Structure 1
């Protein structure tokens, strides 16, 4: 990327909008704030040396192809083109809400009128012996992927800790490269936190067909080796030979390291539907935001760790900060590519008490509709059936409901035919 208007603060600075966190949410928000206000009104502060780039490929494409640099988000390129004010390689350690400034690790104060925290989430660690070894890797950024890539040599033994999306994506990629892969997870099936058993079973069979081994209800006690990994010890005392360990066990919100906002924290930074905290001048969006949500006559708080919702939240909250227009977000959507399979999910599946499967589970091409007891569609999942996702998105947005008995009697229909049975 070309040089942005990077600030090296010698004295205290004051600006109207300060955005802390230059990931997808922060870059999306900064773009909107500049468009709706003025470039000189906005300062974007980032912990890393670059603006936001595509992170989903880090566990897939970046491990298969030669890449000299990551692919930057369109919002980041726009900010560069419009010479946005940025302060990169900078960590914020304190927010002083009374005097309205943030403090950097270099003891520099930056005053704000409105503050948006988009500091994201960092990967969790196992905190066990041997985690410091050079061939133990947690993928968070482009440098992590670049470190792992040359180690993925055919015949090597890879242990993946974590059977969620990141762990499975790395496992699939490594298997394609000829590694001997074992996936270890605390749960009884893959992706159990977010996916129904039908999806888990389909993907487990797919991985096993490619020679990937699973250990369920298990985790590591320690990692053995001198400089490089030589073996791992399970909690039951069993030892497995290993050359590489990749840890993918979820993430924690990056709010804990910032002093002065303890009263705003609850599984991240607690915000209302507009992204506003209890302090009227402080907002949050993206992975760090635990957002109040009102959907299908249900009120709940939800913190999402997904790329597309982070961008959506950043844009929407920035609009509210500019003109106080209430935020109206679409249902959150995510996807994962594993081997040649595609998995997508949309909505709030945790609200569902019923589900209906359309398509063929045997052929691993199906759509699952997730519904409340009253028949309202609140979520949907597609496996190798992405063409259905647009229709599901629209149906959820329109609040469609079904007669559950009628729906169960018509599972041989395709999605378009099923949606014709719905009522608004």
Structure 2
């Protein structure tokens, strides 16, 4: 009989799991542990709506009354400091020890540290939580010089809102193009062009050697000798799964907590979900996915498994972003063998998408301002349906026609 479930991590995965457990009729205790004092909130809005001053605070994942109604024991601002897998217990920073029958580990990722001279100066920011966001927002003043180190999704999202706020923005990216890992080279190049059209300066194949300033940031020195004026710096250089506690408890970890397709770790009573979990992928391998949609899927799957309802779910990376005013949705891995088929043109301003095909099967897709098409593209990718490249690229053919079985 499962009477005590402890969830370490109060982000999206943790809250989704708690909600799923109650929805499936589990009436035992649920302890939700988080290092932040705030009620769990929607993190993706930090780099978009909060920094863009469209809203003052991020929306809560669930309102205050829900936790009381569903009898969720909150331990906020009291992070877990030790896990004993054999004794089935979690120790909190306050000294409180919680016993568990099942544990869900959902601590997410830790941002990588900017390990260069001057990286600790005032004015060097990261963007992981609400406190980071408020600190960065205080530097969002028109005319100031913002250097963003790292041209990934977060970096490009922040560049968009900063430029619209009137800041002078430079992205420093060590690769030869932006966003190729997520969007593929052609769409990544197009995103760079959109950012440049906003007035964002993009430095490719560039690396930071050091940061200058006495107490506050003054400039950034690149390895090629160029110096960039900077009042503010955002280090957006990715993160690593925050798996230290489970690793110390003897649970198998390798760039994330190794789990099966139900979220179970090397210990039968312990599960992991979200960014910290190295989850099996449908197209092979396993890794941390760091997406909102996958986090929800994993948390729900792991919650069911903790209750004995095993429904393995191999993951397909699925995410979305807004860059330079363009809504971009992604499913699958755009990097890999096969051919790329386009419908629509990026230069037209109309909805467009690109699909990666292998042996006629849809393995990945990126949709630009084409949300209606994306729902069908997702079904094509999830089902790995074989399609005709001619029909796929023909704007006169309804995408839904491609879902029909062909003989």
Q: Give TM class, smaller chain.
A: over 0.9
Task: Give the C-alpha shift of residue 396 in structure 1.
Answer: 2.3
Determine the structure 1 residue equivalent to 2:352: 366
Partner of 2:118: 130
Deviation at 1:305, TM superposition (A): 0.5
What corresponds to 1:32 in structure 2?
Answer: 20
Q: Which residue of 2 aligns with 1:120?
A: 108
Residue 394 of structure 1 aligns with which residue? 379
Question: Runs of 4 or more off by more than 6 Å in structure 1?
Answer: none
Task: Check if 1:169 corresponds to 2:154.
Answer: no
Distance 2:180 2:336 in 1: 16
Separation in 2 of the partners of 1:343 and 1:68? 24
- 2:102 partner SS: strand
Of residues 358, 362, 368, the one that matches 1:377 is: 362
Distance 1:251 1:387, change over 3 A: same
Matching residue of 1:281: 269
What secondary structure, in the 3-state scheme, does the structure 1 residue paired with 2:348 have?
Answer: coil
- Structure-to-structure mapping, 1:106-117, within 5 angstroms: 106-117=94-105
What is the alpha-carbon distance in structure 2 between the residues aligned to residue 71 and residue 283 of structure 1?
A: 27
Task: Give the 3 Å change call, closer, same or farther, for CA 43–257 of structure 1 in structure 2.
Answer: closer
- 1:189 corresponding residue in structure 2: 177
1:347/1:84 Cα in 2 relative to 1: closer, same or farther (>3 Å)? same
Residue 9 of structure 1 corresponds to none
Residue of structure 1 in register with 2:398 after alignment = 416
Q: Which blocks of at least 5 consecutive residues in structure 2 are unaligned?
A: none
Distance 1:53 1:63 in 2: 15
Q: 1:195 to 1:150 in 2, by over 3 A?
A: same
**Structure 1 residue 288, shift from structure 2 partner:** 0.4
Of stretches 219-228 and 408-417 in structure 1, the one that deviates more from structure 2 is 408-417
Instruction: State whether structure 2 residue 290 is matched by structure 1 residue 302.
Output: no
Which residue of the partner structure matches residue 302 of structure 2?
A: 317
Q: Using a 3 Å threshold, how does the CA distance of structure 1 residues 106 and 116 change in structure 2: closer, same or farther?
A: same
Is 1:327 equivalent to 2:304 in the alignment?
no
Q: What SS does the aligned partner of 2:218 have? A: strand
In structure 2, relative to structure 1, the CA distance for the partners of 1:417 and 1:45 (3 Å cut) is closer
Which stretch shows the higher mean deviation, 259-268 or 162-171? 259-268
Residue matched to 1:211? 199
Aligned residue pair count: 404
**SS of equivalent residue, structure 2 residue 294:** helix
Q: Distance in 2 between matches of 1:257 and 1:227?
A: 35
Return closer, same or farther for 1:198/1:161 CA change in 2, 3 Å cut-off: same
Task: State the 1:330 CA deviation.
Answer: 6.8
Q: Quote the Cα distance in structure 2 between the aligned partners of 1:102 and 1:49.
A: 19
In structure 1, C-alpha distance between the alignment counterparts of 2:237 and 2:77, rounded to whole Å: 26
Q: Which runs of 5+ in 1 are unaligned?
A: 1-13
Q: How far apart in 1 are the matches of 2:201 and 2:98?
A: 51
Distance (whole Å) between structure 2 residues aligned to residue 114 and residue 257 of structure 1: 16
- Separation in 2 of the partners of 1:285 and 1:267? 14
Per the TM alignment, residue 41 of structure 1 is displaced from its structure 2 partner at its CA by: 2.2
Q: Which moved more, 1:252-261 or 1:17-26?
A: 252-261
Match of 2:210 in 1: 222
TM-score normalised by L of structure 1? 0.89
TM-score normalized with structure 2 length: 0.92
Identify the match of residue 89 of structure 1 among 49, 65, 77: 77
* Aligned pairs for 1:11-26 within 5 A: 16-26=4-14
After superposition, what is the alpha-carbon deviation per residue over 1:147-183, rounded to whole angstroms, capped at 9, x for unaligned?
1113111111110111010000111111111111110
SS at match of 1:143: helix
Q: Deviations over 1:87-131 (max 9, x none)?
A: 111222222111111222344322111111001112112112222
Q: Is the 8 A contact 1:182 1:212 kept in 2?
A: yes
The answer to whether residue 256 in structure 2 is matched with residue 268 in structure 1 is yes
CA RMSD of aligned residues (A): 2.3
Give me the whole-angstrom Cα distance separating, in 1, the residues matched to 2:131 and 2:340: 41
Say which of 72, 76, 101 aligns to 2:60.
72
Kept in 1, the 8 Å contact 2:35–2:79? The answer is yes
Equivalent residue in structure 1 for 2:92, among 91, 104, 110: 104
Q: Deviations over 1:271-299 (max 9, x none)?
A: 00000011111100000000123x3xx43
Q: After the TM superposition, which of the residue ranges 40-49 and 111-120 deviates more from structure 2?
A: 40-49
Shift of 1:331: 3.8
